[in-house]
Structure 1
Amino acid sequence: MASALSEATSFVPDEATVDRFYEISGGNPLLLRALLEDCAAAQDRETDVLDPCVGGLPGSALTHAVTTCLNRSGQLAVTVAEGLAVLGEAPDSALLARLCGLARFSAMQGLRVLRAAGVVTDLGFRHPVVRTVVLENMVPERRRELHRVAARLCYLEGAESSQIAPHLAAAARVDDPWGVGVLRDAAEEALVEDRDLLAIDYLELAHAFCVDPRQRADIRIRSAVVRQRNDPFAAQRAADELLGMLRAGQLTPAQSLATADVFSGCRRIDGVNEALAALRGPGDGAPDGPAGRAAAVIEYCPPWPGFAPGTRNPALEWEGRSAQRGEEGGTAAEELLRRTVLTDSTLATVGNAVRCLVYTGRPAAARHWVDVFVREAERRGADGWYAMFAGIRAELALMTGDLPAAERYAREGLERLPKQKLGTLAGGLVATQVLALTRMGEYEAGARLFEQPVPEDLFTSEHGLTYLCARGCYNLVTNRLSSALNDFLAIGRRVRDWGIDQPQWIPWRGEAAEALLRLGETTEAEQLLSEQLSLLPAGHERVRGVTLRLFSQTVEVRRRPALLVRAVALLQSAGDRLQLAQALGELAESYCWLGEDGRAWAALSRARGLAEECGAEHLREALLLHQGPIRSEGARADGSYEDQLARAVAQEVVSNQWDGGWRATLSNSEKRVAALAAGGHTNRDISSQLHITVSTVEQHLTRIYRKLRIRGRDQLPVDLQFCDGPTTSTPCRTLP
């Protein structure tokens, strides 16, 4: 062997190289020459290492040499080689003989011939190319039949499911009743190793040959869940198939609940509602049995998805408690994340818990956990999971005003999804990307993304709400005001129909009010904003701050600064730099109207800096236009106005009087008087409505001003009227 190698090469090979060549060729001169030819060809391709493993490619010299050796070895050896190729590596000669339909003596004789030819050692091939050549030279029907028999023999021998399933897959059929169970078990074993594509192949084969309707439904549910790892669009199609089975009455209560969970993972609200509505007993929104466990399935799900309107929604109840106790809700979500491992069954729960952190004012914790799960999805090669968490990451970046990061994260998520498909998740990522581009002033880029087709079922999902919001915002900044209003009102219709109209999660009223303000419909805008404040639970600084910023545009100029300072404090606390920049810009404009140029300049300079940090070029340019009316030279000379602004905001943050802190300091009678006074009622009006004397009203107001540390009713928080006291707000206009 060494001399043959020396003759074929320009150097003396070392002992290790000689051993490798012998291990693969078995000393067969034909195989050795083929290996050397392949090595020489590899060296021509600038590979300077003498490596026998470079052979075996289609059309290589080794491939032709193996075919020649087998043809010269006789039919018995070919039959044994076929059986050995199907088994991969036979555990013993008896199993090989049974597979080939030979006596054990004959099988041993065929093996001896193959060993002499140098293609096998013990009960396995010397080189993978030999097995490949044998399998490719077999008649397809013969190969599939041998795999079918091999599966049965391995099952009778007590082999593991992971050893049997490849034979069933290669046979492309399941004839025995145990085959479906073996494929399902093998799929779960493959998932442990993150081989989800193999698991899906096994599940699809099991589904195709399963005759039990209940098992077929279980398999389809499982495959839908697994497909979310890398192909969310295929998961949606599987979910649609399950919905058809549900409508046909083919699902058990437990399967209906699992179907709801599948739709929850796809964020398809209509599907969740329909699946859960099917569980209701007559006159009961929460039947016993599996339906009673619905809360466990969607425990941390934000209000979408939920039960159909009119049913008891445990998820909404949990979120309602979390909304009232934002700190406790965030703590519970973070605790869940600490003790939960990311799996197919926990994906929706983990995603919802991260969203809970986002919306209950814990951006730092949310950012930490979403980064953890993005890395986990990357490590496990789960592109669908990666895209989902990239979407949450982009959403978080939007809420903190980091527009370039939001656009980048959304784009990265889209790049992980199949290019030829556009499911609801992809639609949501496109929408988030458009929102970021729009706020950055990249309108043409946003318009190009809107040209992409979207699936019809996008608007049955949470992602459809994001898409409508993005389109509405784009229409708003491009002065298509009626179209923008229609988009925002469409969000309102959907969330009302779905029974999830909660402004802390979906503040559509504020967005619609902004469009109405631009259209000059101040009264209707005020009604929407008043309603949003009345429905908004304690906490949720970001939504409350944005609402107060918009509300300031409905009041006279002299009252705007007080509202905007409160909005600034809330938005600063929430960490939304973009909305904070907008509020400061409007505060600067209000100060300018009132002739307070020093304060206007302080607010404007800070607003411009924030807009630049956010990458909001359009906002920054708009703020530059505000600089003209402000006598900036005089304002620059004295930095005391910046200090005054900082102190005013700090005072609002500390007192927190507009965000529920007043409840602890005012008596019930004082609350009622304060609410009416904040609503614009005179002392005589309040006296009449509460059936007390005008003097008593005046005494209450004096105590209220002292407790809230304000000078008069003009400084009463505007949203006092939406808390425990009576309200003077008029109903919002009916949505079309």
Structure 2
Amino acid sequence: MVRSRSADSDLGSALVGRGDVVGELNRFARQARSGRACSAVVTGPTGSGKSALLHAFLMGDGCRHATVLQGTCEEGASSESFAGIRALLGPIAPGAPLDGATRYALPALTPGAPAGEPPHAPAVQHTFHGLHRFAVDMLSRRPLVLALDDIHHCDEISLRWLDFLLRRSDDLPLLVVLTRQTEAAALTRRVPAHHALTDLAAQRRTTTLRLRPLTEADVAEIARGFFPAPAAPVFVTRARAATGGNPRLLDRLLRELRAEGAGSGVGSADRIAETGGRVLARWARELLDRRPPWVEQVARAVAVLGERGTDHVGALAAVPADVVEDALTVLREAGLLAPGGRHLADDAVRAAVLTPLDAQVLSGLRTRAALLLSDAGRPAEEVAHHLLQLPSAPEPWMAGVLLEAAACAEQRGAPETAARYLYRVLEADPDSVEVRVRLARTLAETDPPEAIGLLREALGPSVDVRTRARIAAQFGTTGLAAREISVALGILEDVLDALDAELGPDPQPADRELRTHVESVLLIVGSHGRSTFAATRKRAAAMTLPEGDTPAQCQKLAAMAVLTALDGQPPEPAVKRALRASSCPQLPLKSLSLINSALVLSLADRTEDALRALDRVLCHGRENSAVWTYALALSTRAVLRHGLGALPDALADARTAVDISGAERWAESMVLPRLALAGILVDRGEAASAERLLTSTEPTWREQSVWTYHRYLMAHGRARHALGDAEGALGLFRECGRSLEEAEVRHAAYLPWWVEAACVLAELGRAEEAQEPAAHGTRLARQWGTPRVLGLAALARGVATPGADGVELLGEAVRELSASPARVEHARAELVLGKVLLANGDRPAAREHLRAAAGLAQRCGALALGQDARAALVAAGGRMRKMTASPLDLLTSMERKVASLAAGGAGNRAIAQSLYVTVRTVEMHLTSVYRKLGIAERAQLAEVLRHSGVRGARAPRSAPRPGGQG
């Protein structure tokens, strides 16, 4: 059907930014009035304002002295011969005299002519001549403007006649103005009128005028008609991006925002994405409902396949490749495809395309897409993405794809994605022990309680003993994160008994390795519980020491090393086992073997070896998203660095570990990061913050483990002492010692509560009472024999011994600790000795040791100790710059180097070359520096360093000057 119409009422703003097109049409009108026939085709996407522009032109001065005939072709008009002609001439034909040659025009002008086969060629030619005479008669009286809207819906014969008319009207005052959707080129290619339309547009008398998208200035002008205040620049930018500069879409977006009560300010800009998504989705549905079926078929295929599957759209939509391209053109011109891409603009459009499909049809489409991609050899994860959107995965090939996708996800360090694939496989095969165990292993780092539940279900009575042993070992390591220590030990013990009964006295190598693996896990788990540590050590003492040639043997060696070290024996056997375990290239890094080895090595002052072991764990954690292991290793490294006196590095590690663990489901059960951070905060002079952190930890979790409960008591005791509660601190230190003795943990350097207790008692004037903890610690220190513990023992005896003998012991403590890596403890010994010398009246010697204490503490970042040392130095008559909690103290040594070079003008690449690191490492350090210093950009760095008394290093020769890269 064809009808006349005016511009849509909601497009009153469409003329903004269209003055150049209207001006061109007026120029053509003047040209036609001068006797030179011409035509113009105005093209633009749906909603770009073609109809409104045409209406404005026809009502303007350019057509004031002309006869204007206007019509519109609607969908379906292409099937009715002469439909476009009747739209133009039909309204005046009944009153016009049709005689002579014009009578041949009658078939074209008769309203309601039936649709069907086109008339024969001779009849058409007669009609064309009659219509031509009809038009010439009108042109003889005044200029004629023929305006036909939406010619992409027009029938072929009407278009042929317009071409016929133009070719025979060179010297007549005729202007033909046509409008056409840009995307219609692809649509009309599928109908007979396509060639007629192409011929008409190619005429020398025809000019094509393309409507461009609205500019930001246009959007701002249109927005003024909707809101009282001028639109904010960000509002304008986002509104144009959301609508692609399409006037109709913009009109709808602004109307909806106004109806929601939004304005055009910065705050309302955030609502554009959501509201624009809804508007675009409705727009998509309207367009698809008016397009041929093959456009929607392609749109559905694009929606299902997504961005990565665009090469297979034709196969899924079951249409030829050229049809796919035409459909994509239609979708692109309508703004439904992402700019420059072949996928849908956003999720709202995707939903609008797929919502009309019922669940069964959509599932069938997704299944076909997955099979299509699988057959084409696409990556398993790409195929699995489609399988996850199905209600189930019943077909055997689907399980294979999902399992392969899970392996790929695990390999790239995406355990949660792998778990989603495995859950779908488990739904299809709920009795599969293998899938259940694999899923539990995937969840071990991200959701330990869920993993434990899966492993419990897998430990059914029908499972053979070897499989049961592997599951039990996995249950044990996962049980540490889930705090299921006692349950895990019971399962492991039962499995070991069953293995012994099954394997006999001389098992095969594979069975022997399996048994060793179960034994190693039992030792690891048992060494964590306060109530099980002693029994586990006795069990380990009765075991045969492994060679360390296999992963299971190395894991067992590491566990035995810890148990040996904490028995108070000389360090050599434990260190030898730890080094052997940590050097194994096949070591399963997800285990606690490296962390156990690092603990032993740090107690033996083998700090470089300990840090290397922890770095291996951290590298594995980063690459595999092993979050629980990563947080644990990072906390352990924070404790180690704290003991070394590298407080900025330790603080960075501890805070990162707290942040990481705090975002996980198991946050409450991971206590060590908060304990490590609290201990560091005490030395930073933030005891109140440390105590708040400690009291917020869940008692159930901190008290179960031998590693967390005693560290909690030590950190809390030191915090209480720093806050002035000496008696409270003493009680906590003594409770730590009592509990360690009860658990049979006997090591001088592991949480030396006895030093803290002796120092507090000495401060309280109870030096004689301090001799007991000092003697206890000295006995343990002489067994272990490293400079650190010997120095601490001398410190404890020194504060408990009055007079010259005490001074001599404190001097011994300074000498021993200066030879150890324990810089904070060295500073502490210098401080205690300096205070004693000052009390004895030896001010020069006191100043020497107090100045040394203050300098050491400053370099370590131990602000509380440093301020104490400075105050004592001033009291002794010395001078020293006042110590402050400078933010620079928070920077690690590498961060200081990077910051200094950057402040001096070096670019990131030059810094990386001078420090022999990667550019990515430099970027990471600079990000950390900005966060710690509270700045946002490189330009602020030099100012902060200058105020802190630090000069930027001169840029390396190869470095660009400020304003260059970086």
**Structure 1 length-normalised TM:** 0.65
Greater CA drift, 272-281 or 541-550: 272-281
Asked if 1 retains the 8 angstrom alpha-carbon contact of 2:714 and 2:751, the reply is no
For residue 488 of structure 1, report the CA deviation from its aligned partner.
Answer: 4.1
Aligned counterpart for 1:397 among listed residues 641, 652, 655: 641
For residue 254 of structure 1, report the CA deviation from its aligned partner.
Answer: 0.8
In the other structure, the counterpart of 1:261 is 477
1-side partners of 2:695 and 2:388: how far apart?
A: 42
For residue 416 of structure 1, report the CA deviation from its aligned partner.
Answer: 3.2
- CA deviations on 1:538-558 (whole Å, 9 max, x unpaired) are 444323322331133333433
2-side partners of 1:9 and 1:368: how far apart?
A: 71
In the other structure, the counterpart of 1:324 is 572
2-side partners of 1:109 and 1:153: how far apart?
A: 20
In the other structure, the counterpart of 1:475 is 720
In the other structure, the counterpart of 2:303 is 85
In the other structure, the counterpart of 2:404 is 185
1-side partners of 2:451 and 2:780: how far apart?
A: 34
Aligned counterpart for 1:569 among listed residues 774, 792, 815: 815
Asked if 1 retains the 8 angstrom alpha-carbon contact of 2:602 and 2:640, the reply is yes
For residue 293 of structure 1, report the CA deviation from its aligned partner.
Answer: 2.1
Aligned counterpart for 2:316 among listed residues 90, 93, 96: 96
Asked if 2 retains the 8 angstrom alpha-carbon contact of 1:184 and 1:203, the reply is yes
| Paired residues for 1:184-333 under 5 Å | 184-212=403-431, 214-215=433-434, 217-227=436-446, 234-235=447-448, 237-238=449-450, 240-241=452-453, 252-263=468-479, 273=489, 276-281=492-497, 290-294=514-518, 304=528, 308=536, 310-312=538-540, 314-319=557-562, 320=564, 323-324=571-572, 328=576, 332=580
| Paired residues for 1:608-623 under 5 Å | 608-623=854-869
Tell me, yes or no, if structure 1 residue 72 matches structure 2 residue 315.
no
Asked if 2 retains the 8 angstrom alpha-carbon contact of 1:541 and 1:570, the reply is yes
In the other structure, the counterpart of 2:696 is 452
The letter for the 2-side match of 1:323 is P
2-side partners of 1:510 and 1:242: how far apart?
A: 46
1-side partners of 2:729 and 2:651: how far apart?
A: 21
The letter for the 1-side match of 2:605 is G
What's the C-alpha RMSD, in Å, of the aligned pairs?
5.4
In the other structure, the counterpart of 2:80 is none
Asked if 2 retains the 8 angstrom alpha-carbon contact of 1:401 and 1:578, the reply is yes
1-side partners of 2:296 and 2:651: how far apart?
A: 60
The letter for the 1-side match of 2:818 is Q
Asked if 2 retains the 8 angstrom alpha-carbon contact of 1:187 and 1:198, the reply is yes
Greater CA drift, 162-171 or 86-95: 86-95
Structure-2 change in CA distance of 1:245 and 1:597 (3 Å): farther
Aligned counterpart for 1:423 among listed residues 652, 667, 681: 667
For residue 257 of structure 1, report the CA deviation from its aligned partner.
Answer: 0.8
Greater CA drift, 278-287 or 500-509: 278-287
**Structure 2 length-normalised TM:** 0.51
For residue 78 of structure 1, report the CA deviation from its aligned partner.
Answer: 3.9
Larger Rg: 2
Equivalent position SS for 1:171? coil
2-side partners of 1:573 and 1:272: how far apart?
A: 43
In the other structure, the counterpart of 1:361 is 605
The letter for the 2-side match of 1:290 is L
1-side partners of 2:370 and 2:746: how far apart?
A: 55
| Paired residues for 1:641-656 under 5 Å | none
In the other structure, the counterpart of 2:897 is none
Tell me, yes or no, if structure 1 residue 413 matches structure 2 residue 657.
yes
2-side partners of 1:439 and 1:144: how far apart?
A: 61
For residue 432 of structure 1, report the CA deviation from its aligned partner.
Answer: 1.9
2-side partners of 1:46 and 1:505: how far apart?
A: 63
2-side partners of 1:621 and 1:117: how far apart?
A: 74
For residue 507 of structure 1, report the CA deviation from its aligned partner.
Answer: 3.6
Tell me, yes or no, if structure 1 residue 434 matches structure 2 residue 665.
no
The letter for the 1-side match of 2:799 is Q
Residue-pair matches, total: 600
For residue 218 of structure 1, report the CA deviation from its aligned partner.
Answer: 0.8
2-side partners of 1:169 and 1:436: how far apart?
A: 46
Structure-2 change in CA distance of 1:567 and 1:405 (3 Å): same
Percent identity over paired residues: 21
Asked if 1 retains the 8 angstrom alpha-carbon contact of 2:621 and 2:630, the reply is yes
In the other structure, the counterpart of 1:547 is 793
2-side partners of 1:9 and 1:221: how far apart?
A: 67
2-side partners of 1:348 and 1:300: how far apart?
A: 8
The letter for the 1-side match of 2:685 is G
- CA deviations on 1:656-691 (whole Å, 9 max, x unpaired) are xxxxxxxxxxxxxxxxxxxxxxxxxxxxxxxxxxxx
Structure-2 change in CA distance of 1:262 and 1:79 (3 Å): same
Structure-2 change in CA distance of 1:353 and 1:182 (3 Å): farther
Structure-2 change in CA distance of 1:496 and 1:159 (3 Å): farther
For residue 459 of structure 1, report the CA deviation from its aligned partner.
Answer: 2.9
Note the residue ranges of structure 1 that are not aligned, 5 or more in a row.
1-6, 12-20, 98-103, 228-233, 637-736
Asked if 2 retains the 8 angstrom alpha-carbon contact of 1:330 and 1:362, the reply is no
Note the residue ranges of structure 2 that are not aligned, 5 or more in a row.
1-16, 22-44, 46-180, 188-209, 221-232, 250-272, 506-510, 541-555, 881-966
Greater CA drift, 478-487 or 607-616: 478-487
Asked if 2 retains the 8 angstrom alpha-carbon contact of 1:221 and 1:238, the reply is yes
Tell me, yes or no, if structure 1 residue 599 matches structure 2 residue 845.
yes
Asked if 1 retains the 8 angstrom alpha-carbon contact of 2:470 and 2:518, the reply is no
Which structure ranks higher in relative contact order (CA pairs < 8 Å, sequence separation ≥ 6)? 1
1-side partners of 2:413 and 2:716: how far apart?
A: 38
For residue 360 of structure 1, report the CA deviation from its aligned partner.
Answer: 3.1
For residue 148 of structure 1, report the CA deviation from its aligned partner.
Answer: 4.8
The letter for the 1-side match of 2:316 is L
- CA deviations on 1:277-335 (whole Å, 9 max, x unpaired) are 44432898999562312477699999657784643274443343793257656754774
Structure-2 change in CA distance of 1:628 and 1:114 (3 Å): closer
Q: Identify the structure with the greater helix proportion.
A: 1
